[in-house]
DNA sequence: ACTCTGATTGTTCGC
DNA sequence: GCGAACAATCAGAGT
């Protein structure tokens, strides 16, 4: 536990920081980017309800090796975020 | 010092 | 256009 996102109305949050250093995308984001093509291609007709859940299920189905390409993407994106962070504390200060 | 929560990221789909 | 499940995540804030 640590993040009980049960009824946490999380949707299009808002920025509270001065320059809002938006975080980096998650591995899931990259994964979804490629999966949306595959999953939907393999499951023609499945709506967000199905694909969405199926996607997450498959996501974990992958192993660290599978996630590697996605994690790598996230790592690259994270660096991008670092730039924001830098400018953030640089501007905010 | 340690912990936690909040904020954020992108997809799909329908209305 | 937005909201909502799906998952990750990271950093700052609070205790």
User: CA A12 – C1' C1 distance (Å)?
Assistant: 12
Long-range CB contacts (< 8 A, 24+ apart) of A30-37? Answer: A30/A69, A30/A70, A30/A73, A30/A74, A30/A77, A31/A55, A31/A59, A31/A62, A31/A67, A31/A70, A32/A59, A34/A70, A35/A59
Boundaries of every domain in chain A = 27-92
- Using left for φ > 0, alpha for ψ between -120 and 50, and beta otherwise, residue A88 falls in alpha
User: CA A89 – C1' C14 distance (Å)?
Assistant: 20
pLDDT digits (tens, 9 = 90+) for A70-87: 999 999 998 888 888 888
Residue nearest to nucleotide C4 (CA to C1'): A11
pLDDT digits (tens, 9 = 90+) for A27-81: 999 999 988 888 888 888 888 888 888 998 999 999 988 999 999 999 999 888 8
A2: CB within 7 A of chain C nucleic strand? no
Q: What is A27-92's CATH superfamily? A: High mobility group box domain (1.10.30.10)
A29: CB within 7 A of chain B nucleic strand? yes
């Amino acid at each position: 536990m640590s993040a009980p996102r049960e009824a946490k109305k999380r949707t299009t949050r808002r920025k509270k920081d001065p320059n809002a250093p938006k975080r980096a995308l998650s591995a899931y984001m990259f994964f979804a980017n490629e999966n949306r093509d595959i999953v939907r291609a393999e499951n023609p007709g499945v709506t967000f309800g199905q694909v969405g859940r199926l996607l997450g299920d498959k996501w974990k189905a992958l192993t660290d090796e599978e996630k590697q390409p996605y994690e790598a993407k996230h790592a690259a994106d994270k660096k991008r975020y670092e730039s924001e962070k830098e400018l953030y504390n640089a501007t905010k200060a």
